[in-house]
Chain A
Amino acid sequence: MPGVFERLGERLSRRTGSLPLLSHLLIGSAVLAVLVGAAFALALLAMSDLRSSTNAQAHSKDVSRATLELESVVNQLDSSLRGYVNSGNPIYLGQWRAGRSSLPTVFAALNKLVASEPVQAAQAQKLATDTTAYVNDYGVPLIPIFNVNPKVARSSDLARQGLYYINTIRGDLSNLLAGEDRSASEREAIAKREASRAVSSGIAALILAASLLLLFGIFVAHGVVRPVRTVAAGASRVAAGDLSTRLPEQGAAELHELTEAFNAMARSLEHGKRELEAQNEQLRQSERLKSELVSIVSHELRTPLSGILGYSSLLLKREFDEEDARRYLEVINSQGQRLSSLVEEFLDV
Chain B
Amino acid sequence: MAPPTILICDDEPTLRELMRVSLGDGYSFAEAADVAEAIELANTVHPDLVLLDVMMPGGTGLSVLEHLRSVPALQDVPVVVISAFTADRDHLAAYDAGANGFLKKPFDPDELERVVQELLAPAGG
A310 touches B85 (CB 8 A): no
Verify B84–A306 contact, CB threshold 8 A: yes
CB 8 Å contact bits of A298-309 with B (1 = contact, 0 = none)? 111011011111
Considering only residues 14-53 of chain B, those with a C-beta below 8 Å from chain A are 14-15, 17-18, 21-22
Q: How many residues of A contact B (CB 8 A)?
A: 20
* Complex Cα spacing A233 to B4, Å: 77
Q: Please determine whether A305 and B14 come into contact, CB atoms closer than 8 angstroms.
A: no
Taking the complex as formed, is B108 at the interface, i.e. its CB lies under 8 A from any CB of chain A? yes
User: Which residues in B have their C-beta under 8 angstroms from that of A308?
Assistant: 106
Number of interface residues of B (CB under 8 A): 19
Among B18, B84, B86, point to the contact of A310 (Cβ < 8 A). Answer: B18
Chain A: interface secondary structure? helix
In residues 288-315 of chain A, which contact B (Cβ within 8 Å)? 295, 298-300, 302-303, 305-311, 313-314
Does B109 make an interface contact (CB < 8 A)? yes
Cα-based distance from A306 to B18 in the complex (angstroms): 9
CB proximity of B46 to chain A, nearest CB, Å: 28
Contact B15 A303 (CB under 8 A): yes
Chain B residue nearest to A331 in the complex (CB):
B14
A302 touching B22 by the CB < 8 A rule?
A: no
Q: Are B18 and A303 in contact (CB under 8 A)?
A: no
A-B contact pairs, 19 of them (CB 8 A): A295-B87, A298-B85, A302-B106, A303-B84, A305-B106, A306-B15, A306-B107, A307-B12, A307-B14, A307-B106, A308-B106, A309-B106, A310-B107, A310-B108, A313-B108, A317-B110, A328-B21, A331-B14, A331-B17
Binding site for A on B (CB under 8 A): 12, 14-15, 17-18, 21-22, 55, 84-87, 104-110
A residues lining the B interface (CB < 8 Å)? 295, 298-300, 302-303, 305-311, 313-314, 317, 328, 331, 334-335
